[in-house]
A = this chain, B = another copy of it.
Amino acid sequence: MSIFLPKSIRTLIEEFAKLPGIGPKSAQRLAMYLLHSPDSKIKELGESVFNLKQNVVFCENCWNIGESNPCAFCSDEQRDKSVICVVEEVLDVVAIEKTREFSGLYHVLHGALSPVDGIGPDQLKLGSLFKRIEEGDQEVREIIIATNPSLEGEATALYIQKQLLNSSINITRIARGLPVGGDVEYADEVTLSRAISGRSAL
């Protein structure tokens, strides 16, 4: 941070630079952009930061965020209560909803198992998932594990599978393969071998 700028600008640059994916140069540019913006725009941004957590609650059933507890999904009678899609983050719910392919319920873990980062099962919303399945007054028939196809996501999927080994529930995992529009030539080996082993009949 430069000492050649006024204190208030330096402070904002420092705050911006703390955000993920924003380096010191981008932070400088953002602060300068705001400095040249009308006061009303600055106020709008500041207020929306302050109000971020207003009326935002976690659903204590699926741990998605929403404006009510239980959330809009859990309290929606139209949704298929026999299928639970397990995801790592809230934004994964958004992404899946956009496909309009899924009409069941969700369960947001808020992370994935990562011993290196000190994230074990207790740090995730796993206990409440198993409780939901066990206590379920609604009968859960299928658990779709939609964690990321990363080391951590796969480990989490494996962990859930192991824990539910003795139950009669159908445990499925979202397909891993080539992204649509992708190129066999440029696909990495792991993705390609997954795509081959996960092939389906035409």
Residues of A within 8 A of B (CB): 2, 4-9, 11-12, 14-16, 18-22, 26, 28-35, 39, 41-56, 65-67, 89-91, 93-94, 97-98
Q: Which of B7, B31, B50, B65 contacts A43 (CB 8 A)?
A: B50
Taking A15-B44, A16-B45, A35-B65 as known contacts, 15 extra A-B pairs with beta carbons closer than 8 A to each other, sorted by chain A number, are: A2-B94, A4-B97, A5-B90, A6-B56, A8-B48, A8-B54, A9-B52, A15-B48, A18-B41, A19-B30, A22-B30, A32-B90, A39-B53, A43-B50, A45-B49
A21 to B6 Cα, complex, angstroms: 23
7 pairs of A and B residues whose beta carbons are closest in the complex: A46-B49, A46-B50, A12-B48, A2-B94, A15-B48, A11-B48, A6-B67
Report the nearest B residue to A51, measured CB to CB.
B8
Distance in Å: Cβ of A29 to nearest Cβ of chain B? 7
| CA A11 to CA B43, docked complex, whole Å | 13
A-B contact pairs, 6 of them (CB 8 A): A4-B97, A7-B55, A16-B45, A21-B26, A42-B52, A46-B46
Distance in angstroms between the alpha carbons of A7 and B56 in the assembled complex: 9
